[in-house]
Amino acid sequence: MYEVIKEINLKTIVENFKNIQNYVGNVDVIPVIKADAYGHGAIEVAQSLISYVKSYFAVAFTQEAIELRKNNIKNNILILSRSGFDDVEDLYNYNLTPVVHDFFVLQSIIDFSKSKKCRLPIHLKFNTGMNRLGFNKSDLNHIIELYKKNKDFIDIVGVMSHFSSSESDVRITSKQIDEFEDIVNTIKSSDLDVRYYHIANSGGLLNYKNAYFNAVRAGISLYGYYPKKIEDNPINIKPAMSIKSFIISKRIVNKGEGISYGPSFIADKDMQIAIVAFGYADGLFRCMSNKFNAIVNDKICKSVGTICMDMFAIDVSDVEARVGDEVIIMGESKNCKIDADDLARFASTINYEILTNIGKSLRTKKVYI
C-alpha cells in the first residue's frame, strides 16, 4: 500500500505507562492526554490505559474531556487549564474535575453548585514560581475561609502546582518544591480533606523523588520521550509514534541545478533525487529544509531543497531507491533511527511540538498497531 501514515504503537504506550509506574513506585500516575494525547490519539490512548489508571486522565480543556466521555471513558478526568468559565454545566453533566486556579472560576463553580444544590469536585492549583496559572500561597487563608463557608458546594479533592524548569534548573525546581510543601502542610493542618497532591510532570518525576507527593502527571514520557534529550534511558521508555511515507517520484538532477523552491539547494554533483509525499502541511516545519534526514531502505538520506506544502526531496544517490519505496520520516529501520528529538533539533524546537504538530495533521492517517 502506498500510504502516508502516523503509526502508533499502543502497546508501547502501555509499556511506557507501566515503566513510569515502576519508576515512581507507590504514587498514582496521571496520564496527560491533552492535545489528542500529544498527537497519538486521546481516545485510543485512553482506551488502552483504562484499566491501569487509578486516579485521573488529564486533559487541557472541557471539550477534550467530553470527547473522552462520549467514547465511553468512565475514569475520572482532570481538566488542567481551561474550564470553569461558561462550561460549568458540562463539568456537572459529564462528571469532570476542573483544576481551579483563579477566584473568578472558584466563585462561578460555587454559584453553580448552589443553584443545583450539588457539590462539585475540584483540584486547586497554586503558583509556586511558574507565574502562569494558580493561586498564590498568600491566598491560602482566604481560600480556606471560602471553603469553610461553602463546603457543601465544593469538594477540594486535589491540590497541585506545576514546574517551570524540572528538566533544566535544580535551584528553581527545589524552590518550587519547598513552596508547594509549605502549601501542602498548611492545607493538611486545616479543615480541608484533600486526597491528591501533585506537582511533578515528566521532568519532575524523572529528577525529583521528593516531588512525588502522592501523584505525578506524566505527559511526554508516556509517549516515549524525556523533556530534554538525555543519553541513558532510566525509565525505560520508547517512542510510540512513527511517520512513514513513500517515494512518489525520482529523477537525476545535474551538478549546478537547483532543487525545489528558491532554490535553496544547488546540486554539487550529479544526484539521484527522490520526492517524498510529506510536507509542511503534514507537520514538518519549513525551517527544517536542508537539515533533516529520512530513512530509505535502511539508509539515512539527507533532505535537500526547500520543504514544500505536500512533499520534500531527499538525496538517494547512495541508496537503492525506487518510486513507491517506503520512507521513514520518524521511526526506525534495522540499523537507522530518527526520533522527535532529532527533528526538533533541526526545527529549533522541542519534541513536544514535533509530536503535536505532526499529530494534528488530518491529512495523515493514524494507524494503530
Ligand X SMILES: Cc1ncc(COP(=O)(O)O)c(C=O)c1O
Binding site for ligand X (CB under 6 A): 32, 80, 162, 201-203, 217-221, 227
Tell me whether strands 5-8 and 365-368 are parallel, antiparallel or unpaired.
parallel
CA distance 309 to 312: 8
Rounded to 5°, the CA angle 167-102-172 comes to 25
Annotated catalytic residue 94: no
- Closest-CB residue for ligand X? 219
CB of 120 vs ligand X, minimal distance in Å: 20
162 or 244: CB nearest ligand X: 162
Judged by beta carbon, residue 228 or residue 250, the one nearer ligand X is: 228
In terms of CB distance, is 97 or 201 closer to ligand X?
Answer: 201
State the DSSP code for 128: S
CB of 99 to ligand X, least distance (A): 7
Single-letter amino acid code for the residue at 174 = S
Please confirm, yes or no, whether 34 is among the known catalytic residues: yes
For ligand X, give the closer residue by CB, 150 or 356.
356
Given the complex with ligand X, which of 35 and 301 has the nearer CB atom? 35
Distance in angstroms (rounded) separating the CA atoms of residues 58 and 162: 13
- Grid cell, residue 295, equals 530513512
Sheet hosting strand 28-31, strand order edge to edge = 28-31, 215-218, 196-200, 154-160, 120-125, 97-100, 76-82, 56-61
Tell me, what amino acid is at 73?
Answer: I
Q: Is 363 annotated as a binding residue?
A: no
- Closest distance to ligand X from the beta carbon of 220 (Å): 4
Which of 276, 242, 237 minimizes the C-alpha distance to 366? 242
Contact between residue 239 and residue 221 where contact means Cβ atoms under 8 Å apart: no
| Annotated active-site residue in 34, 56, 125, 352 | 34
Q: Is 329 helix (H, G, I), strand (E, B) or coil?
A: strand
Spot the catalytic one: 54, 70, 148, 261.
261
Q: How far is the CB of 163 from ligand X (least distance, A)?
A: 8
132 is in an annotated binding site: yes
Residue 262 Cβ, how far from ligand X at the closest point, in Å?
36
Q: Quick one: which H or E segment has residue 92?
A: helix 88-93
Residues forming the active site? 34, 261
Binding-site positions for substrate: 132, 309
Binding-site positions: 132, 309
